[in-house]
A = this chain, B = another copy of it.
Amino acid sequence: MAQKEIEMAFLPQTINDLCSGNVEDLIGKERTVFGWAKSCRIQNRGNLLFVSLQDGTTLTHVQSLLFRQDFDDATFAQLSEIKTGWSLRFTGTFVKSPAKGQLIELKVSNAVILGKCPSDYILQKHSATESGASFDTLRQFPHLRCRSTVFQSINRIRNKLMRSTHELFGSHGFVWAATPLITFSDCEGAGEAFLVKTTYPRTELPEGGFFGQQGDGFLTVSGQLEGEMMAMVHSRIYTFGPTFRAEKSKTSRHLAEFWMIEPEVCFVSLDQLIQLACAYVVRCVSDILKECTEDVKITLEYTLKDKFSGKELYEEQCKRIDQLMSYTQKPFAVISYTQAISELENAVEGGHTFVEPVFWGVDMSSEHEKYLTDVVHRTPVVVHSYPAEIKAFYMKRYTTRDTNTTPNVDVDTRCVQSFDLLVPGIGELIGGSIREHDLELLTNVMKSKDMDLTAYQPYLDLRLFGTVPHGGFGLGFERLVQFVTGIHHIQDCIPFPRAY
């Protein structure tokens, strides 16, 4: 902490700095606070102003009192105009508060209006609904919506999830690997890619310019292939960076630009990889419940308040928090694809109707996945060992030699050593697999799929030079934010959404 003081004591104190200790120690002390008016009301026949000041570093506001007698008339007249969104600098002395729900308040002796807000400010009204603007409406004004209470909370939770990710992987020896965003092949076939071009005429770009002989670049759809290259260096790596999909999907679960975390680990089994994925998600949920308690309550409140109010809203909020808590306390369900299909077939036999058919070999749709998490298991569910037919070329196929490598399942040589982690309300949060590390087996699969081997030479080189068993998974960061916040639409889980 001494270091902290030395490093940053030159910056103005934030409200979070002020409130991070025992706030009653502030009583009698003079402080300067910067921020924006969250609300303002005039009392005592116009002789007293209450201004609730926030600065976005914490949910806590500084309740500020401005008495007419402490200012000249012209200044107090200006201050009486303060409305939500005005930016202010208050200097004053903290005093014990007589009000319920707060311990201290700031008796302001010097007030400066830094900036005003015209009356068409979209976040004007102070209420639980904050101007009553819906998520849909606010989405049109990303530069302002981020200021609203719920979006502040979402972003502080994003911030914490990012930190938990780096802390978890960092403290266990995973090296962060920066994989490139401009790529030259749509390696995984994970989805439609965006093209990257320059504005220069091609004749001005000898030898293809920025993109070598290839002419065009693509925006990466996954850092996995380069992640594997880096795993061959450091044994354990993870990526944390933006990823792009040009899919024409207008859903509450799809973004064209999103952040992705892709750990890749050498010398692991599918079982270990699944444990890693579960430990990561549990750590994230646990950290948010511990360190962003109030922010999670806010996001759940905003998610639920269309359907519930008053006591019911409160109870539903508690139920959701208990549910999140329960995910950190008991192990996730782990079932094979074959078991999953059989559970869905049982549902059909029991009278449940799915839009899409259920049979062994089907690529499960979102309704199937949600049925497993929301109805059958009521907890996150790992489904592993999918049929090779519906999975990517690089996933390692079971052979008859693989006995007892996977939990609860007999080896099925029609299947690959893959898994998805499905979570209630959302569906797929994580997808991963053991990669085929045998050069001959890999090239055989690629040939059978008529793939261009030369385009994958670096990837094949990994199997040629010191190949090792390895595997990894990808997690869509905004889906993780959705999962812990309960926010319905993924476009509300990133400050500046890019989507179809």
- A210-B500, A498-B210 known; A235 and B34 CB under 8 Å? yes
What are 18 sample pairs from A and B whose C-beta atoms fall under 8 A apart?
A: A11-B236, A55-B234, A56-B175, A57-B236, A87-B466, A115-B465, A142-B458, A147-B232, A156-B234, A166-B166, A179-B495, A180-B257, A181-B244, A192-B198, A194-B210, A204-B248, A210-B246, A241-B241
**B146 near A230: Cβ-Cβ < 8 Å:** yes
**B175 near A156: Cβ-Cβ < 8 Å:** yes
Of residues 193 through 225 on chain A, the ones whose CB sits less than 8 Å from some CB of chain B are 193-200, 204-205, 209-210, 217, 219
Q: Which of B12, B178, B459, B495 contacts A259 (CB 8 A)?
A: B178
**A155 near B496: Cβ-Cβ < 8 Å:** no
Asked if A469 is an interface residue, CB under 8 A from chain B, the answer is yes
Asked if A121 is an interface residue, CB under 8 A from chain B, the answer is yes
| CB closest residue in chain B, given A212 | B498
Report, as a range, how many residues of chain A touch the other chain: 35 or more
Contacts A114-B467, A118-B465 supplied; 13 other A-B pairs, CB < 8 Å: A10-B275, A14-B236, A34-B235, A36-B466, A56-B233, A87-B466, A114-B468, A152-B234, A156-B175, A163-B166, A179-B495, A179-B496, A194-B210
Give the copy number: 2
Q: For the complex, give the distance between the alpha carbons of A196 and B437 in Å.
A: 34
Asked if A388 is an interface residue, CB under 8 A from chain B, the answer is no
**A159 near B172: Cβ-Cβ < 8 Å:** no
**A198 near B194: Cβ-Cβ < 8 Å:** yes
| CB closest residue in chain B, given A279 | B7
Q: Could you mark each residue 139-159 of chain A with 1 if its beta carbon is under 8 Å from any beta carbon of chain B, else 0? A: 000111011000110011011
Q: For the complex, give the distance between the alpha carbons of A246 and B201 in Å.
A: 13
Asked if A16 is an interface residue, CB under 8 A from chain B, the answer is yes
Q: Could you mark each residue 157-186 of chain A with 1 if its beta carbon is under 8 Å from any beta carbon of chain B, else 0? A: 011001100101011110111111110000
- A230-B495, A465-B144 known; A172 and B259 CB under 8 Å? no
Specify which chain B residues have a CB less than 8 angstroms from the CB of A205 in the assembled complex.
248
- Measured CB to CB, the closest approach of chain B to A269, in angstroms, equals 9
Q: Which of B196, B198, B272, B499 contacts A210 (CB 8 A)?
A: B499
Q: For the complex, give the distance between the alpha carbons of A168 and B11 in Å.
A: 14
Specify which chain B residues have a CB less than 8 angstroms from the CB of A192 in the assembled complex.
198-199
